[in-house]
Each structure stands twice: as structure tokens, then as C-alpha cells.
Amino acid sequence: MSTHPKPVIGIIGCNRTVEGEPAHIVKARYVEAVQNFAGAIPLICPSINDASDAGAIVSRLDAILLTGSNSNIEPSRYGASEGRMPFDTNRDAMSHALIHAAMAAGKPVFGVCRGLQEINVALGGTLIDQRDDAATTQPHHAADGVSLDEMFGFAHEVDLVAGSPLAALTSVTHASVNSVHYQMIGKLAPGLMVNARAEDGVIEAVSSLPGASPILAVQWHPEWRPDNRPHDLAFWKRVGSVSPR
């Protein structure tokens, strides 16, 4: 048995209705990825309606993981007047607070899909919907009505930026990634650098600038059955490599 303490990774929760009443949930695949692929301890952080305790939450964790979700970020948070529902305003507020609390404490922030978008918005960037953007030349989401396996099996190629943290982690220049998103980065936030792009230019991975509080986020879903995808296993290895308190 290892004597080395495992890091504790806080996983943000979403607000849903379960059996007719409000619930805080995290899909099991994120919890299992932290446990099985990162080798860390998952701890769910509910998106309560008061985000003022985010600093106290972060003080008890070693890193934050912002997951994907079927909800979109409320458009007023990035200066837009319109957006597509569903929204999760409590999660918007909590993710914003957790990001800034973690950065202030120098603790890593990791993002998946919506999590990447939350990081970009929290740091001053914007989002656009690919369905409204004529410059997006390839689909980034499977067609409506397909099975879960088909949805998460929908994939395209990305080019990793040479010298970026993600390229260093994965040791590859190209990768095939699953793609389950409609929203995407419009204006990249100050303080972030691009780590990967799709063939049509969509930003697919970001990190913080050198010397800043560590951030790493991908637009795809590395938690979905990553066993045969070395670049996704490398992402989880990085999550598990954070220093325990």
C-alpha cells in the first residue's frame, strides 16, 4: 500500500431536478475518472446559491475540476444579450468564485468542456455558439437523436501547439478527440494560451501563461472511456499529480 497521500480534487456539481425536487449532482464518469485514472480522491462541491464560501472550499482541496454539463453559461456573464437554454446560474456563480479562489491560492484548476468555457469567461473571455457562427466549418457535436455511445464517439482531429503544456504532457502533435459541444471560445481571455485547435480553428484546449497559477482545460471529454487514448490518460495523470495539502 502506498504511503503517499492522495490529492483531493473538488468536482463542481450541477443543479438538476431529481424525482421532482432540486438536487446537486455530478455524473459518475467524472468521479470515476478522478478516482481511477488520476488516482486522486474526488470530492463533490455543490453549486449552492451562495458562492461567498468558495475560498473556504478551496482551502480544503488540492485542485478544482470543472466538468462538462448539458447547461450553457448565462450569456450576460460574457457580455451577450442572447443564449440558448438550459442555464444553471448557481453553477455559473460558483464556478466563477472557485476559479478565482483557486488562482488566489495558487491551486490548479482543470476544465472539461463547459469547464473550459467557464474558465475563459471568468478570466474575461467570451463565448459563441457554433450554430450561429458561419466560420465554423465542421460539426463539433453529433446529430440529434443518436445514442450516448454515438454522441461521445463523435470525433475530429486537433493540432496541439508546440511547446504548450498539453503538448508536453501528451508528447503528441495531433490527436483525435471526441466532440460534444455547441458553445466555444469566441475571444480568448487574457492570461490564457491556446494549447490545441481543431482543423477549422476552434480552440480545443487552453492553459494559463507560464508562471501563473496553473490552469489546464480541454473542450472535449477525456473522462469518457479514455483507456485507449493516451492523450486523455495523460490529462488525468496531470490531475493526479497535484501536490496534496
Global pTM value: 0.94
Residue 76 lies in a domain: yes
Active site residue 4: no
Residue 236 lies in a domain: yes
Dihedral pair phi/psi, residue 66, rounded to 5°: -100, 115
Residue 123, pLDDT above cutoff 70: yes
> Hey, is 121 helix, strand or coil?
helix
Residue 245 lies in a domain: no
| Given the residues 140, 181, 221, 231, the one annotated as active site | 221
Residue 96 lies in a domain: yes
Residue 55 lies in a domain: yes
For residues 21 and 5, what is the distance between their CA atoms, to the nearest angstrom? 37
| Given the residues 45, 118, 204, 223, the one annotated as active site | 223
For residues 156 and 199, what is the distance between their CA atoms, to the nearest angstrom? 8
Active site residue 118: no
Write the pLDDT tens digit of every residue in 100-118: 999 999 999 999 999 999 9
Residue 230 lies in a domain: yes
Whether the CB-CB separation of 233 and 242 falls below 8 Å is answered with: no
Domain, as residue range, for 200:
8-240
Residue 41, pLDDT above cutoff 50: yes
| Given the residues 45, 113, 140, 231, the one annotated as active site | 113
Residue 135, pLDDT above cutoff 80: no
Residue 3 lies in a domain: no
Whether the CB-CB separation of 10 and 58 falls below 8 Å is answered with: yes
The torsion of the CA quartet 121, 126, 131, 136, rounded to 10 degrees, works out to: -120
Q: Which CATH number belongs to the domain containing residue 105 in this structure?
A: 3.40.50.880
**Residue in the block written with cell 455511445:** 149
> Hey, is 14 helix, strand or coil?
strand
Active site residue 113: yes
Write the pLDDT tens digit of every residue in 155-186: 999 999 999 999 999 999 999 999 998 899 99
Residue 211 buriedness (CB in 10 A; 0-12 / 13-18 / 19+): exposed
Number of domain units in the chain: 1
